[in-house]
Amino acid sequence: MRLALLLASILCSGPALATDAVQNADHLMQKYQGDVPGAALLVLKDGRPLMRKGYGLANLEKHTKVTPGTDFRLASVSKQFTAAAILLLAEDGKLTLDDSIRHWLPSLPATTDKVTLRQLLDHTGGLIDYEDLIPPQRTTQVSDQDVLRLLSATPRRYFAPGSAYRYSNSGYVLLGLVVEKASGLALQDFLQQRIFAPLHMDHTLLYVHDDPTSTKSRVPNRAYGYSEIDGHWQRTDQSVTSATRGDGGIYSNIDDLARWDAALYDDRLLSDASREAAFSPHATVVGEPYEARYGYGWRITGDTLWHSGESIGFRNVIVRWPRQHLTVILLSNRNDPEPYQAVLKIAQPFLAE
């Protein structure tokens, strides 16, 4: 409610340019409007919400509208939280970024001896993609322990550790398991105790699929994912790879992500040194239709820190301009369109203010 009142006061008292910027954003969000899978959009400037809005539907079958409180599966936007968990444990002295992954997960093959946590954070570890190891006939969901077993039985690697970049969901699943080993807590509990609760991200959780009695398996105000197939929207909320955690299992909403964004400007969660490490370019991204470097859970392009997230039925992105103190977040429960370019266009008039 406080966010909504603040937004209303800003838009009522702001210059005409603010109105034009909002109209531009609404125009760019037209595909999400109506009786279709929708999106939630947040524009933050100097910590204030200039736009905070839902479009379309979170649940087509029940005709539930998207609101700022709707929880979306973040997919790979989750990686920044897994990275933050590793950095917190490094601050605690429970691990170091130069630890071998095999020190923490000794069932992995000897070919991973020289793969460090640091290299998993910036995707230079060279691990095989677990998605490519799943038997094609498998229909049940793959767990983190399944991923560990698949990788433990695979001595192959793409390249020598630290010698190249290749985006790796495998690496972030393993990082989530390291968090558990180093902390003695389940990953979902560590994230809740050390990140979500301290930041009052009260509607954010790491979704646990295989425990229906756990509060971590109930997503509040949940958006379900959809894909357009043969001209019709069909629910495609889960896939075989939707149960892994460290690489993409968090659900959140734009209001909670505003609190996360605020914490990235000061030391209320991470130390100055940890934030500098996360936001520094450690590897050059290759094989993508954009130019970027990679930090720890963040891509770096020009003045922006950003990350996208895509899983079956969801497309999300968070883009931050720290120097201008502007952040735009777009969460959607549909397979198309890809939101990154739309967010850049939404941001331009706000950056010009």
* Tokens 């398996």 belong to residue: 217
Is residue 76 flagged as an active site residue?
Answer: yes
* Tokens 């509990």 belong to residue: 189
Rounded distance between C-alpha atoms, residue 300 and residue 319, angstroms: 10
Q: What three-state secondary structure class fits 17?
A: helix
Which parts of 14-67 fold into alpha helices (H)?
16-28
Which H or E run contains 72? strand 72-73
- Kindly state the tokens that stand for 205: 């959780």
CA end-to-end distance (rounded Å), the chain: 26
Does residue 161 have a cis peptide bond before it, meaning omega lies within 30 degrees of 0?
no
What is this structure's pTM? 0.93
Catalytic pick from 13, 76, 143, 311? 76
pLDDT tens-digit series, residues 253-302: 999 999 999 999 999 999 999 999 999 999 999 999 999 999 999 999 99
pLDDT tens-digit series, residues 95-118: 999 999 999 999 999 999 999 999
pLDDT tens-digit series, residues 168-221: 999 999 999 999 999 999 999 999 999 999 999 999 999 987 555 555 558 999
**Burial letters 189-214, b for 16+ CB under 10 A, else e:** ebbbebbbeebebebbbbbbbeeeee
Domains defined for the chain, CATH in brackets: 2-59+72-262+278-352 (3.40.710.10)
> Which of 12-21, 25-34, 83-92, 129-138 comes out lowest in average pLDDT?
12-21
Rounded distance between C-alpha atoms, residue 35 and residue 329, angstroms: 22
